[in-house]
Structure 1
Amino acid sequence: MSDIFGLAGTALAQRLSDTLFGRRNGQLSAAEKQGFAGLVNVSAPVKDIYRFDLLPHDASAQSTYNGTSYTHCGTVTRGDDKYTGTYNVDGNLIITHKSLLVGKFTSFNTRDIPGDPIGPVINDSHNTVAMGLDGAGRLHVFANMHGGLLRYARTVDPVPPGGPVPTNWVASGLIGPYPITDPLELKVTYPRLLRFPNGDLLLYYRDGTSGEGDNYLVDLPNGATVWQNRRMIAAGKATLENFYEFRPVIDHRGWLWIAGTWRPQGGDANTNADVHLMLSKDRGNTWQAVDGSPVAMPLVHSNTNARILSTPATNSGIINQPGMAVNPVTGNPHLFLTLAAPRNDGSGISDREIHHLWHNGTTWKIDQVTFLRNTMGLQNWPTRADGFCSEEGRVLFVYTARQTRKTNVVWMVDVTPNPDGTSGKPVEFMIADVPTGDFEFTHEDDALRDQNIYRSLLSNTNADVSNPGPAYHDLSLWRRQLIGVLSIDLSRIADVASGKVRIPHMRQFASAAVAPGTSIASTPSGASASPAGAGLPAIVVPTGMRHRKLFARLSMRGVVTGGTLYGVISEQQNGGITDTAVLPFTNTGSNATKSTPWVPLTSPPDNNLDTTVSMRVRVPTGQTATLNGATLELAVLDGPVIMP
């Protein structure tokens, strides 16, 4: 804990740290809340080395809209006030607030905004959330757009310090009116909100479609209530292509950096080509290349002085919209992108590997960082790297690679260059050991720049709406997943890298299995065979797990004589039964193993009631199913986890 109390090393300091930062899973007594809330007037933010704050709701994960590389940003921090914007299990955008010192979450459902401007999320990974606080303290939210009408709302008044989330919101256009009629607000995608040090907000977005789009910036000056000065910064419609931005950066000097790659009309990720980078020292009004030469606006693909990497027109390996950062110590830019990397074994095979493209003050350098041997398939790439720099000058990025590495591990990699401008040796370490699926990490600008904290949402998501993949066999299984906010104090990142700090970890603590050859006759319409008398497993949650975040997973092999066989995870508490997940077997002759992802249990975690988790099955009327193996597992989330 930061020594803001002047009590470092004392028993009271440890007591404060234990209480405020969830060493006891966030369970505060009334006396503790009252006593510590009035102990000291804290103006500086309070930091712990590592914490994972679970949100008060589970999240929809049927696509990656809660966490993809172009989410910018899903969290906003000012002092000790933290806000999040995420889609819940019903697809509604929920804004939450929590004080990092002593506080509970408050929430607001944006469906309650007059006119319902955000609406329920459309099941499309592009429908991300962009949030920001302006200089006056009003909260702005853009969300749920992919080549469609601008969806935007803001609070009428500044948010109050210490919360709660305001309930007085208004829908709005940008330059044009609301309801939306402005032609440049009819086909909006990729909204990104950035804040300059003086409180000015900057919105970045694309107008148009993939392969035919133009990119714009719009200003909201500090104290203003009307957006202004919309200008095109990259043109693609005229040449039937579009510019896919890397993560835009406002650096420690207030300079704006934008990089990107290009895709032609009718192409896909395998036709992304070339990389341009430009910077602006006057809030995006005039631009220059890294060498100082001016860049004419709008940027076009044929520009040469801002081009920092030339690639083949196809199979460059670039996946659009990866990470970028600017080192606050050196002022040099760092880009983190996938590129095609030929293997050195004479096979002629190339892999899509993460590379570090950076400028050392004199020249550009490029280093291959991962060696995943994942081929060039579009389903095998690692998640796009979330790159950032600490105020101490460490250069880092976060990624996962569930197709080619351990499924649950979230990796952070330190690629800080040597002081002489040569490439440093990458150092890779775990920052979480929980299922994340296709979730992509995207850090919050404000927490990084103002507090030297890496802060990102963390969830478990499915990327492919039409095909959940070989392990998970129905999109409905992704309706409910955990979500929370991961925060790491970067001044102590060496302690995390060395393993001195606990990280979130999912630990299995119970399982039960079905004997092969178990036969189950038809069940009543809509009902399930109960564990009793059917040889199906049931597990009573231990008393010590009642206040923890718990998960269940079902794996099953079975055949049915006709219709569809369903495996069901059920929870029973206080006489009520809830179906947590339903696993369908639609191919009656198949004996393949199918499984659910780890699914959060829905029973209240703090009511001191026994919860029984059981496997049930549904068999069509007049049919018989044979289970040739089934396992029900329960797991708990360990580590620096703070319950809501």
Structure 2
Amino acid sequence: MKSFITLLFPPYAKRILLLFILCLIASAGIVYGQKTEPEVTIIPVGKGWASNSVNTVIFRRNALVTHGNYQYIAFYDSTRHVVLGKRKLKSKKWELVQTIFKGNAYDAHNCISIMVDGEGYLHLSWDHHDNQLRYAKSITPGSLTMTYKLPMTGVLEDKVSYPQFYRFPDGNLLFSYRNGASGRGNLVINKYFTASKKWQQITPNLIDGEGKRNAYSQTYVDPKGTIHISWVWRESPNVASNHDMCYARSRDSGITWEKSTGERYQLPINAASAEYVMQIPQNSELINQTSMFAGADGYPFIASYWRDQNEKVPQFRVIYYDGNKWSHLNTNFRKTPFSLSGGGTKRIPISRPYLVSWKDKGQTSVAVIFRDEERGSKVSVAICQNINSPAWEVKDLSAESVGSWEPTYDTELWKHKGILDLFVQKVEQTDAEGMSVIPAQEVQVMEVKFGR
């Protein structure tokens, strides 16, 4: 006697049913273990300055930031005024305000950084390249109306470069900047306390160049509040003198610092005492100020690019720590060589990369966001689904060129919702601090949801 299943589903019917099930699985993007395609949504904002890359340099922390149900944005407009904006999440309608503040947008270093503290006050710093601190905050929580320029601590505020904000889980803020010029600067760290609404200088010199070099750093505050910093050393204003990758972390808001092994640093950290997580010689096309990231487990990731000494082509790289050792991933998909040398802002055929990571079913995935002339200078992403079995899938997220754009994203939205909102604008950068003659271009938020 035939089984009930055989009677219910004859052979040809079972084949049809199997094909139907496979089609359903494939449409969900999980056939043979593959993930779904990234889902991309474009949210227009307004016209911004585009004659160089000042609105899109990678060391903006942040260009976008979410607090509660609102997302905030900042950029220079065609008159070089600072524009602030906010929108409700899930809405495409922005409230934009042109502030009284202007910046030297002719210099791509002089970017704008923003952050919202735990009480909802917007903090703003803008227009720096070895000059006096420019800082303001909103007059009330949620407001786009700012105070006049304010001091923070009043100490070491005359030679500021690369101002960057970060938020702790308790709503207090971290502010870091370089004090001094390229090749001889030190890293200053301040902390803002929401209870007192005051800034305090935590350290005047976390990483000491000893008058011979300076650290080009990147920072991330993870969901538990640990500060992660990695950096390359530069021996002179010449970008070709970048070398090595170093690391430090703080579990107490910047008071004490340690290596990945837990060994305590004596401050300030210098070239002799630093933890070297990757030895990279000078003249390796190693770029500065790229990407630092850490998830809820506190394990750090660093993204950059350089070339090995026996190779000609710089490749995007990921360095990560798994709790026991540092490892290195080479994306190894680029084909075109180039050389970094000289001072000032460079026109480079690739952007500095940004990186995010997530875990799914015990598997760690990473996504490296970048721009490359090889791919038509679009917004692109290289995804590795499992760092223990590295294979890279490269996708373009934009249809058109974004010129000399570099990625920055809303760190707080990613931490809390796993949504990657990128600040995107087509800009053009020439070598040194030259200007391109192009009109203002549309600023956009590119919202990316990974299949995870």
When normalised by structure 1's length, the TM-score is 0.60
Q: Does 1:365 align with 2:327?
A: yes
Is the alpha carbon distance of 1:229 and 1:408 closer, same or farther for their aligned partners in structure 2, counting shifts above 3 Å?
A: closer
State the alpha-carbon separation in 2 of the partners of residues 453 and 158 from structure 1. Answer: 24
Q: 1:141 aligns with which of 111, 124, 130?
A: 124
Q: Does 1:334 align with 2:301?
A: yes
Paired residues for 1:138-217 under 5 Å: 138-159=121-142, 165-176=143-154, 182=155, 184-217=156-189
Specify the alignment match of 2:202 in structure 1: 230
Paired residues for 1:597-616 under 5 Å: none
Paired residues for 1:474-513 under 5 Å: 475-477=436-438, 479-490=439-450, 493=451
Q: Work out the percentage of aligned pairs sharing the same amino acid.
A: 21
Structure 1 residues not aligned, in runs of 5+: 1-47, 112-117, 160-164, 177-181, 344-348, 469-473, 495-644
| Contact in 1 for aligned 2:103/2:110 (Cα 8 Å) | no
State the alpha-carbon separation in 2 of the partners of residues 325 and 167 from structure 1. Answer: 32
| Contact in 1 for aligned 2:58/2:406 (Cα 8 Å) | yes
Letter in structure 1 aligned against 2:445? V
| Deviation by residue 1:372-410 (Cα, 9 ceiling, x = unmatched) | 2332423555211111123645321100111xx121422
Q: How many residues align?
A: 406
Paired residues for 1:382-401 under 5 Å: 382-390=350-358, 392=360, 393-401=364-372
Letter in structure 2 aligned against 1:339? W
Letter in structure 2 aligned against 1:483? V
Q: Does 1:309 align with 2:292?
A: no
Q: Does 1:324 align with 2:324?
A: no
| Contact in 1 for aligned 2:44/2:445 (Cα 8 Å) | yes
Is the alpha carbon distance of 1:373 and 1:201 closer, same or farther for their aligned partners in structure 2, counting shifts above 3 Å?
A: same
Is the alpha carbon distance of 1:381 and 1:269 closer, same or farther for their aligned partners in structure 2, counting shifts above 3 Å?
A: farther
Greater relative contact order (CA < 8 Å, ≥ 6 in sequence) = 2
Specify the alignment match of 1:42 in structure 2: none
Q: Does 1:453 align with 2:425?
A: no
Q: 2:41 aligns with which of 51, 61, 69?
A: 51
State the alpha-carbon separation in 1 of the partners of residues 337 and 91 from structure 2. Answer: 48
Specify the alignment match of 2:27 in structure 1: none
RMSD of equivalent CA atoms: 2.2
1:100 Cα offset (Å): 2.4
Higher-Rg member (1/2): 1
| Contact in 2 for aligned 1:351/1:373 (Cα 8 Å) | yes
| Deviation by residue 1:522-549 (Cα, 9 ceiling, x = unmatched) | xxxxxxxxxxxxxxxxxxxxxxxxxxxx
Specify the alignment match of 2:430 in structure 1: 464
Q: Does 1:74 align with 2:63?
A: yes
State the alpha-carbon separation in 2 of the partners of residues 101 and 385 from structure 1. Answer: 27
State the alpha-carbon separation in 2 of the partners of residues 50 and 391 from structure 1. Answer: 21
State the alpha-carbon separation in 2 of the partners of residues 185 and 121 from structure 1. Answer: 18
Q: Secondary structure at the match of 2:414?
A: helix
1:423 Cα offset (Å): 4.2
| Deviation by residue 1:202-251 (Cα, 9 ceiling, x = unmatched) | 001111000010101100012332211331343445332100002x1111
When normalised by structure 2's length, the TM-score is 0.84
Q: 1:263 aligns with which of 221, 234, 237?
A: 234
